[in-house]
A and B are shown apart, each in its own frame.
Chain A
């Protein structure tokens, strides 16, 4: 098992290198750079631009730039952000908490409710309840994220029931732990709903389909023929076989933990990574973009690894074949 994980992590190194080369080249190939805004400003002299170019290392050949960047990264230095004038690492670290808070809350929300409704829907298939859930699920899947966010903001503004942005209330510091928790839930509700609806609906449909699929299997019939009560038939024999594809889905979601909330964070003014990345991209803040891309790739690799480990843990067929 440990050998397997080690092998996977070693294999991740060339992948990350490849990702960094391609990303760096694409960003370099894009017309212009961070200094374009200054170049277009007639008040800024050519000399100043030249100095800044030298300072930022933008005067060199992109290949040379890449290797300088790579050397620094290997030393643990992810460079400076041009626009924030602060180390990239520090910037990202500062935003990480807010994003993780939002995405993890969303994940819990999606998975508990999605899985439960999926099972319910499968057990009650073709009844009114199932059909209502199916309709809601398809609405959830079809509504674009940003539109849902705007709808929610409109609703929040009209009724005043929910805040229209931000992560905590003004008097957060005076609250006790429980009040802080409630205050957080109050603020996270909108972004969570926005970010999670489509995923929740997807999980629910997937769970329902898988359950129905497995309920038709011979071994489920055999479990019934053995006299097992319905509870055991459903929650042991059927469910255990139905969750496999969902574990893979779960792994992919892990990769979206950091960068997957860009739109939602922007609309709700959530001070997370997503907004930082958008700002970085718009300003062509090279090193910040690079660091966030690298982080996303790393999360994808880790997410897949976690999914594979979970699958092996759950499914003996995979465990025996690969580990």
Chain B
């Protein structure tokens, strides 16, 4: 086992911008986090909060008019220095070098399994092409590996499924195939971009269960993107809450659920209907997610925040470490007030 303490992936002050005719969209604006081996980090946020762009930046799948404007993405790998793992900065790798990282060391599962497989090629073809490219094996060995992977993702009758085309499989089965492809080269990091959002609720549970068991088997670190907090509670060790391209709160999963501080995190948690509390209506967060075109340098949540002060309209709060490993983007005086209002003063 590699050193448990040393992160395998460190994202430092990542900024990904999209240049539009109307101005710059700062889709990701100064996001930092790290991921240790065998760890699952959940990134939560509404549509447009920058969570997908963050992970696409890690995969270097950002194309013009988008660009990674600043920051480092350090990934520890021995791909370019055999036997001696070193940190490489993904933002500085060439396209050719990226093909040796993507799918082999960092894989990605997309939201919609109905569209992430190529309709023109068989499951076999799409699995084997990946395995042969990364693992330097011949076609028969690759087919063996593909078969084994389909077994692992619990697809019934895998020999027959190999010959099928994507349209012959159900959504859940397709997502299993996608996961099998993503894990077929034993990547150190798996990025799951809302992998259950497009599926039926029952299938969602099955896929989550599958991902959990595979994570335990392969010890893959996972970056799990979702807007479903219930899913996060189930799978993640650490949680990063994003809003308007910025990290607003970052802590381990227990802290986020037991002791959320940022007004946005609190509102998010309040949105979840609870079966044990009688409620007449849902409590959505009033207002709209921010338009991050030419965003002013203030807290993006400001327009929807109930705790805003005069200071909020003048400057952007930094990330404050309120307790070890628990970061909140808010001013300290507001944080104190929040403690008083939400926790009755005790900490």
B120 at the interface (CB under 8 A from A): yes
Q: Once the chains bind, are A227 and B96 in contact (CB under 8 Å)?
A: no
Q: Once the chains bind, are B134 and A224 in contact (CB under 8 Å)?
A: no
Q: Once the chains bind, are A317 and B102 in contact (CB under 8 Å)?
A: no
Q: Once the chains bind, are B133 and A227 in contact (CB under 8 Å)?
A: yes
Q: Once the chains bind, are B118 and A227 in contact (CB under 8 Å)?
A: no
Could you mark each residue 32-66 of chain B with 1 if its beta carbon is under 8 Å from any beta carbon of chain A, else 0? 00000000000000000000000000010100000
Inter-chain contacts of B116 with A (CB < 8 A):
218-219, 221-222
Find residues 215-237 in chain A having any chain B CB closer than 8 Å to their own CB: 217-219, 221-230, 232, 236-237
Q: How far is the CA of A230 from the CA of B63 in the complex (A)?
A: 13
Choose one: B103, B115, B182; the contact of A228 (CB below 8 Å). B103
Choose one: B95, B96, B115, B182; the contact of A218 (CB below 8 Å). B115
Nearest residue (CB) in B for A218 is: B115
Cβ distance A166 to chain B, nearest Cβ, rounded Å:
46
Cβ distance A119 to chain B, nearest Cβ, rounded Å:
17
Could you mark each residue 224-254 of chain A with 1 if its beta carbon is under 8 Å from any beta carbon of chain B, else 0? 1111111010001100110000000000000
B266 at the interface (CB under 8 A from A): no
Cβ distance A220 to chain B, nearest Cβ, rounded Å:
8
A178 at the interface (CB under 8 A from B): no
A72 at the interface (CB under 8 A from B): no
Which among A222, A225, A229, A317 has the highest number of chain B CB atoms within 10 Å?
A225
Q: Once the chains bind, are A237 and B134 in contact (CB under 8 Å)?
A: no
Q: Once the chains bind, are A226 and B103 in contact (CB under 8 Å)?
A: yes
Q: How far is the CA of A33 from the CA of B259 in the complex (A)?
A: 96
Inter-chain contacts of B103 with A (CB < 8 A):
225-228
Inter-chain contacts of A93 with B (CB < 8 A):
none
Q: How far is the CA of A202 from the CA of B313 in the complex (A)?
A: 55
Q: Once the chains bind, are A222 and B96 in contact (CB under 8 Å)?
A: no
B337 at the interface (CB under 8 A from A): no
Q: How far is the CA of A230 from the CA of B103 in the complex (A)?
A: 14
Q: Once the chains bind, are A224 and B61 in contact (CB under 8 Å)?
A: yes
Nearest residue (CB) in A for B101 is: A227
Which among A236, A315, A316 has the highest number of chain B CB atoms within 10 Å?
A316
Q: Once the chains bind, are B99 and A228 in contact (CB under 8 Å)?
A: yes
Q: Once the chains bind, are B165 and A225 in contact (CB under 8 Å)?
A: no
Do A315 and B120 form a contact, CB below 8 Å, given A225-B102, A229-B96, A320-B165?
yes
Nearest residue (CB) in B for A230 is: B95
B161 at the interface (CB under 8 A from A): no
Nearest residue (CB) in B for A244 is: B120
Q: How far is the CA of A323 from the CA of B129 in the complex (A)?
A: 28
Nearest residue (CB) in B for A243 is: B120
Q: Once the chains bind, are A320 and B118 in contact (CB under 8 Å)?
A: no
Nearest residue (CB) in B for A315 is: B120
Q: How far is the CA of A317 from the CA of B167 in the complex (A)?
A: 7
B181 at the interface (CB under 8 A from A): yes
B104 at the interface (CB under 8 A from A): yes
Inter-chain contacts of B95 with A (CB < 8 A):
230
Cβ distance B337 to chain A, nearest Cβ, rounded Å:
44
Q: Once the chains bind, are A222 and B130 in contact (CB under 8 Å)?
A: no
Q: How far is the CA of A219 from the CA of B118 in the complex (A)?
A: 5
Inter-chain contacts of B115 with A (CB < 8 A):
217-219
Cβ distance B54 to chain A, nearest Cβ, rounded Å:
15
Find residues 175-231 in chain A having any chain B CB closer than 8 Å to their own CB: 217-219, 221-230
Overall SS of chain A's interface? helix
B108 at the interface (CB under 8 A from A): yes
Q: Once the chains bind, are A219 and B117 in contact (CB under 8 Å)?
A: yes
Q: How far is the CA of A144 from the CA of B149 in the complex (A)?
A: 58
B154 at the interface (CB under 8 A from A): no
Q: How far is the CA of A230 from the CA of B61 in the complex (A)?
A: 12
Q: Once the chains bind, are B61 and A221 in contact (CB under 8 Å)?
A: yes
Q: Once the chains bind, are B129 and A232 in contact (CB under 8 Å)?
A: yes
Inter-chain contacts of B129 with A (CB < 8 A):
226, 228, 232, 236
Choose one: B107, B117, B118, B119; the contact of A225 (CB below 8 Å). B107
Q: Once the chains bind, are A227 and B99 in contact (CB under 8 Å)?
A: yes
Nearest residue (CB) in A for B185 is: A227
Nearest residue (CB) in B for A227 is: B103
Q: How far is the CA of A25 from the CA of B22 in the complex (A)?
A: 62
Nearest residue (CB) in B for A316 is: B165
Q: Once the chains bind, are B61 and A227 in contact (CB under 8 Å)?
A: no
Q: Once the chains bind, are A218 and B112 in contact (CB under 8 Å)?
A: yes
Choose one: A218, A224, A240; the contact of B120 (CB below 8 Å). A240
Do A320 and B107 form a contact, CB below 8 Å, given A218-B112, A232-B129?
no
Cβ distance A124 to chain B, nearest Cβ, rounded Å:
12
Inter-chain contacts of A317 with B (CB < 8 A):
119, 165, 167
B168 at the interface (CB under 8 A from A): yes
Cβ distance A321 to chain B, nearest Cβ, rounded Å:
9
Q: Could you list 22 examples of A-B contacts with CB < 8 Å?
A: A218-B112, A219-B118, A222-B117, A222-B118, A224-B61, A224-B102, A225-B102, A225-B103, A226-B107, A226-B129, A226-B130, A226-B182, A227-B100, A227-B102, A227-B103, A227-B130, A228-B103, A232-B129, A240-B118, A240-B121, A241-B118, A317-B119
Which residues of B approach A to under 8 Å, CB–CB?
Answer: 59, 61, 95-96, 98-104, 107-108, 110, 112, 115-122, 129-130, 133-134, 165, 167-168, 178, 181-182
Which 8 pairs, one residue from A and one from B, show the smallest C-beta to C-beta distance?
A: A227-B103, A227-B102, A218-B115, A226-B103, A225-B108, A222-B116, A219-B118, A316-B165
A241-B119, A316-B119 known; 15 new pairs, CB 8 Å cut-off, are: A218-B116, A219-B116, A221-B61, A222-B110, A224-B102, A225-B59, A225-B102, A226-B102, A226-B133, A227-B133, A227-B134, A315-B119, A316-B165, A317-B119, A320-B168
